[in-house]
A and B are shown apart, each in its own frame.
Chain A
Amino acid sequence: MSGNLSIEGRARMDILNAALSAGPTGAHIAPSLSLVEISLAVLGSRNDCDSVILSKGHGALGYYAAMHQLGVMSDDEFQSFEKDGGLFPGQPCRNDNDKIEYSGGSLGMGLSYGVGVATAKKRKGRVFVILGDGELNEGSNWESAQLASRLALSNLVAIVDSNGLQSDGVCMEIIGVDYRKVWSAFGWDVVECDGHSVDELKRAIGEVRERPTVIFADTVKGKGVSFMEQNNEWHHHVLNEETFNKAAEEVNAHYGE
């Protein structure tokens, strides 16, 4: 059945299958569904000299699914998701096979590292840092943003998975800052695009720029499964046979080619 699906659909089926096999410990399902197209676009745009830093570690499963569908990760590797002592736990961990470059999970850390990598690359390679919108609450991001601007790192691109939700609820209700203005005040170029269009994301990523750039990718948490969409119960949740079948049916209906 999944043979007739688009790559976005196949990646979503990967997420659902992995969450089902994770069993009663559950998985970060909705943040991963939100991150599918961003991961496909970034991994599909990167050159060998580029770096990808997944600071929003909670979306790891979406990122792994994209790696799997793009052939970067083998079937066996993908199926090792959240296995005890495995290489691909719930939050990404830099590992010996170099498939994961950065250990994520503690929020507000990835951008500082990205600024360092971008400085070291001196425009000979690009650095993509994937952030969550809730993650922007972390003050450390702004320490990094000001330095990136000061160093005029035109090879640095931050992509914000802007789904409007964080662990406890709606971002605009919890803190309520429009961070687009903050990035702009810090001297970054701010771009917006549809975070569920790989083509739009790739266009935004590919533009040559003179300043560090942040792409606000407008996304839907839980994208592709109606009962998970914008429903924070599915931030980290257990998938059983019944909910899996319902979710798979919707993905197959929406993402058939």
Chain B
Amino acid sequence: MANNARMYSLLGQRGTFGVKLDEVANDNDSILAITSDLTRTSGLERFFANHPDRSYNVGIAEQNSIGFAAGLADNGYVPFVTTFTNFSALRSNEFIRHYLAYMKCNVKVVGLGSGFAMELFGNTHYGVEDIGAMRSFPNIEILSPCDGLEVAKCVEYCAETKSPVYLRLSGRANNPIVNKDPDYDFKPGKGITLADGSDIVIYATGSMVANALKASKQLGERGISAGVVNMHTIKPLDADLIRKNCGAKMVVSVEEHSVIGGLGSAISEVLSSQRTHPPLLKLGVQDRYIKAGRYEYMLAQNGLDVPSIVESIAASFDKITQ
């Protein structure tokens, strides 16, 4: 794969998605793009211009977008359906249950602007409950890429695999670059250990992987050795890796999602089935709605900026090692 990491970073995850889908569609006639009136926001202008006969704006009608895609998928097409995460995972939730989970239609649902990326649009447009809303459905894979290269790999995977996928895009334009080598080994369902640590393992997903890496470095300067795992796949979760890392003194989950129902909950489900396991610190969006704000403000309010992550982990670690 060509190294487009810098371009992808500038475009952000949505822009990268659109560019990559257009590219994949050049070699695969079955790829379709379906959006609920968010062509530009989905980064799909180029796709719509290059493949007009495979592009559908169904209007602001998210439920229908899923059923429509399902009917096309059952006739050999591979539809990618886009809208903001809250509208796809929440507004269309039962349609996703019916068509992707129950009928196993080969539809790829792409959630845009997950977490706080919608900034001052406010709580109606934040996507912090979507993983919780999707995770109990059988038959749907949940992918949450950490940067542009990973978005590109996810799009390639979605185009090839015959099963339904929920692709969660997070962060803003100027997405941090986590992966520098375009040929890094990305396998859905397999967490990637980005840093080793003897005291703590931090499991992070999506936008929070970059913050976890920075936090790990700062913790190291304080004498706390914290490893970082990129959990780009929430479902199926890499339970083997979580069990293997049970020797750590403490594990941490970091996600731009509610602490209820997301990555942290999924990890706790694995840990609690072990006879002995380290304590889990779940960092994420607290169980409440607060006043809206800019991205950094929202992260800080929820303890997801780097300094807060470092302080929370250090404080917890102190407690358990006293």
- Cβ contacts under 8 Å, B73 to chain A: 116
Contact with B along A185-204 (1 / 0, CB 8 A): 00000000000000000000
What's the nearest-Cβ distance from chain A to residue B53, in Å? 10
Number of chain A residues close to chain B: CB under 8 A:
23
- The CA-CA distance from A115 to B59 in the complex, in Å, is 14
Q: Do residues B68 and A106 form an inter-chain contact, with CB atoms below 8 A?
A: no
| A119 near B72: Cβ-Cβ < 8 Å | yes
Q: Tell me which residues across on chain B come within 8 A of A111, comparing CB atoms.
A: 67
Q: How far is the CB of B273 from chain A (nearest CB, A)?
A: 28
In the bound complex, CA of A85 to CA of B99 (Å) = 21
Interface class of chain A by DSSP: helix
Partner of B64, one of A103, A118, A140: A140
- Give Cα A119–Cα B99 distance, bound, in whole angstroms: 17
Which of A2-10, A142-150, A223-231, A247-255 lies at the interface? A142-150
Stretch of B4-12, B74-82, B286-294 at the chain-chain interface: B74-82
Tell me the smallest distance from the CB of B297 to a CB of chain A, in Å.
35
Contact residues in B for A237 (Cβ distance below 8 Å) = none
Contact residues on B (Cβ < 8 Å of other chain), bracket: 20 to 34
* CB proximity to A under 8 Å, residues B48-107: 58-59, 61, 63-64, 66-77, 94-95, 98-99, 102-103
User: How many whole Å from A201's CB to the nearest CB in chain B?
Assistant: 24
A144 & B72 in contact (Cβ 8 Å cutoff): no
Nearest-neighbour CB distance to chain B for A134, whole angstroms, equals 18
Please report A residues at the B interface, Cβ cutoff 8 Å: 94, 102-103, 106, 109-121, 140, 143-144, 146-147, 150
* A-B pairs with beta carbons under 8 Å apart, 19 shown: A109-B98, A112-B63, A112-B70, A113-B70, A113-B71, A116-B67, A116-B70, A117-B72, A117-B74, A120-B71, A120-B76, A120-B77, A140-B67, A140-B95, A143-B58, A143-B63, A144-B68, A146-B61, A147-B61
List B residues at the A interface (Cβ < 8 Å): 58-59, 61, 63-64, 66-77, 94-95, 98-99, 102-103
